[in-house]
Structure 1
């Protein structure tokens, strides 16, 4: 039995929870952090392929726009703690950061362990009490006010709780939606939940033959009139049963809800670095002028890897050993069309087990953006992925975790 009354209890030892605990403890609050796993920062360890893409260099206005219609909710948190503040914070606790491509910010070590160790060390320095292997089951409240939390083995007392348990993505790293259930139990509305940032499966089987290469600067767009504004840009990799890579991770945020609704989502891919039909035709004719005897496959490999070129020829009804002059006008036109926009049908995904983040969460209308405090229960705060706010790849979601965690840790 722990009869101590803490100023704050933080539930969840990820990025948002750790910075919230540090912030409150620096403000001379007594803080207890409860983590259900035996280790702190497990999901953070996997971020950015273990390299930990902390944030990016966009200004706050552009940053918010990348989160879509809910992005404006972040304004107060970002004004208080933006990417520059985050980099300064890490510098203060001994971690140098840099942006090698001028955009994505990493620890100079390019190791998430550096970040986790520094946060853990700072929590210990400022006196945060940490209890691991403590799964919180219930938020305790009386007359609309927080009074504590109970785990499977203990009850803890406080007037303030920050729930920073994340969403449902990466269940192998501890995500089981505990915080969402707790929020629901005390009266919060949870929006529809979808897995996001994940590989996608296609109906087309030819993708399996194209797995060897990464295609750079691909544009992906949804081929449905009602949803034609959904687009993503980035590198693409074909897989045994579909597609993955940054462009797919970004698009998946919008595609998984559509899949639930329609069962299949047609998409178009520009695999030729933005070239349109006219530019593609001109490029091929220029290549023919250089070498009249070149096969169509040789001509196409000036644009795309051979396996993809072969598949596009097959889809166009063209034998790969023919010269351009021997191909019918109809087949040429079909090939150019396919080179400009390659159609695929998205038919599935592997659910939350492969999802890096969750789309959906605690309804933002029920959270005060100036403090991150619940409008339903006094003394209850949320930060990070548990809220209905998610962004694309590139440090967006981690910056939001740190910004919202910092703001929540200030307590009202």
Structure 2
């Protein structure tokens, strides 16, 4: 049995856990950081393909809005540690940042290794005890007070424990849902869990013929009566088995829970940068007037890549080399309707092994947003993805991890 007593034990060494450790140590606390893998920050290392999009330049209000109705939960955390504070913090530990596109903020090295190195050096400077290969199997509590944690090989004592274990995405990087089990065993509710931020598979196999191009400014809509308000816009890429790209990664968090409920999810895609049927019709009229014998494929290629244009002709049962002027009205209407809203049916995904984040988690109703402390167990705190709060691509989830970890570490008793 380990006889050392700490002020706080942090379970998990992702972005949230590490910053919680640093902040608590800066506040004079004796800190133990436990990690079940052989190295810290495995998922942080892989974030953004290793480039690590830390945060973005949005105001706090706009930032919270992108998380949906639960976004207001972040208000106190962002007030304490927003994007500007994160950039300042990174500068303090020797990590320079920039926003090359004016929105997403990266380390200037565009390497997550730079960030991990800076965080490790700061923990070392502050005397944070980091112990790897220690899987926490149980929280120790007396009544409604936390006492410490039990691992597979030892027991560690502290009056404060912070759970920063992340979600279920990318299990090869250590995500196995440990935090959900620990939380539920002491009485916390864990909501339904779904993989998010991932490619989607479709019933239609014509998509495999359109893989060469990125389609810009696509709008996706769910075509289910009760869920027609669900929509997203962004760049889309067709794959061998479905769709991916920024808009799909963002929208997957809405689609995967529906897949669980309905088995398949019909979507409508506007592939013409927002043009409606009337605008497409006018476009064709105008372009076809330039040359009387303009064929359909030539008209479509003004709007879309050739491979996709050919597939849409096939779906509309129209010969691509037919002159537009000779196309009968019924077929013309069908083609224009397809262009305005192309149907696709999502039938699956690759599960948590390909999910960058998890939708769902420890219920926010049972966590104090001003401190990140449990409302059920005194001295128990949560931060990062283990909570029921997830956002889109673009630095949102990492900023939330850092902000919630900062608040938990700062306001420990």
Please indicate, yes or no, whether the TM-score normalized by the shorter chain is above 0.5.
yes
Give the aligned partner of residue 330 of structure 1. Answer: 330
Q: CA deviation at 1:216?
A: 1.1
Provide the C-alpha distance between the structure 1 equivalents of 2:250 and 2:105, rounded to a whole number of angstroms: 18
Q: Distance in 1 between matches of 2:402 and 2:318?
A: 53
Matches within 5 A, 1:76-225: 76-225=76-225
Equivalent position of 2:73 in the other structure: 73
Partner of 1:392: 392
The residue aligned with 1:233 is 233
2:48 is aligned to 48
Matched, 1:34 2:54: no
| Corresponding residue SS for 1:268 | strand
What displacement does 1:291 show? 3.0
CA distance in 1, matches of 2:113, 2:285: 52
Distance, in Å, in 2 between the alignment partners of 1:330 and 1:385 is 51
Give the whole-Å Cα distance in 2 for the aligned partners of 1:261 and 1:297. Answer: 39
User: Which range moved further: 323-332 or 29-38?
Assistant: 323-332
Alpha-carbon distance in structure 2 between the residues aligned to 1:271 and 1:114: 39
Of the structure 1 ranges 231-240 and 276-285, higher mean CA displacement relative to structure 2 is found in: 276-285
CA deviation profile, 1:61-111 (whole Å, cap 9, x unmatched): 111111111111111101000011001100111111111111111111111
* Cα drift, residue 302 of structure 1: 1.0
Give the superposition deviation at 1:210: 0.7
* Stretch moving more, 396-405 or 43-52: 43-52
Q: Counterparts of 2:173 and 2:214 in 1: how far apart (Å)?
A: 28
Q: Is the 8 A contact 2:277 2:340 kept in 1?
A: yes
Q: Does 1:282 align with 2:312?
A: no
Q: CA deviation at 1:395?
A: 0.8
Cα RMSD of the aligned pairs, angstroms, is 1.0
**Aligned residues of 2:316 and 2:335 also touching (Cα < 8 A):** yes
SS in 1 for 2:302: coil
| Alignment partner, residue 253 of structure 2 | 253
TM-superposed CA distance for 1:286, in Å, is: 2.5
Residue 150 of structure 1 deviates from its aligned partner by 1.2
Give per-residue Cα distances to partners, 1:243-270, cap 9 Å, x unaligned.
1111111111111111111111111111
The answer to whether the Cα contact below 8 Å between 2:293 and 2:325 also exists between their aligned partners in 1 is no
Contact 2:168–2:358, Cα closer than 8 Å, also in 1:
yes
- In structure 2, the partner of 1:321 is 321
- Length, aligned pairs only: 412
2-structure distance, mates of 1:374, 1:55:
26
Local SS of the residue matching 2:303:
coil
SS in 2 for 1:88: helix
- Secondary structure in 2 matching 1:6: coil
2:375 alignment counterpart: 375
Deviation at 1:115? 1.1
Q: Cα offset for 1:292? A: 2.9
Task: Give TM-score scaled by structure 2 length.
Answer: 0.98
Q: What residue ranges of structure 1 are gaps of 5+ in the alignment?
A: none
1:326 is displaced (CA, Å) by 2.0
State the shift of 1:225 in Å.
2.4
Structure-2 separation of matches of 1:402 and 1:241:
35
How far did 1:242 drift?
0.7
Q: Residues of 1 paired with 2:327 and 2:293: CA distance?
A: 13
Q: CA offsets, 1:142-163, max 9 Å, x none?
A: 1211111111111111111100
1:165 CA displacement: 0.1
Query: Helix, strand or coil for the counterpart of 1:53?
Result: coil
CA offset digits 1:116-170 (Å, max 9, x no partner): 1111111111111101111111111112111111111111111111000001111
1:308 counterpart SS class? helix
Q: Output the CA distance in 1 between the equivalents of 2:84 and 2:40.
A: 25
Q: Give the Å deviation of 1:293.
A: 3.1
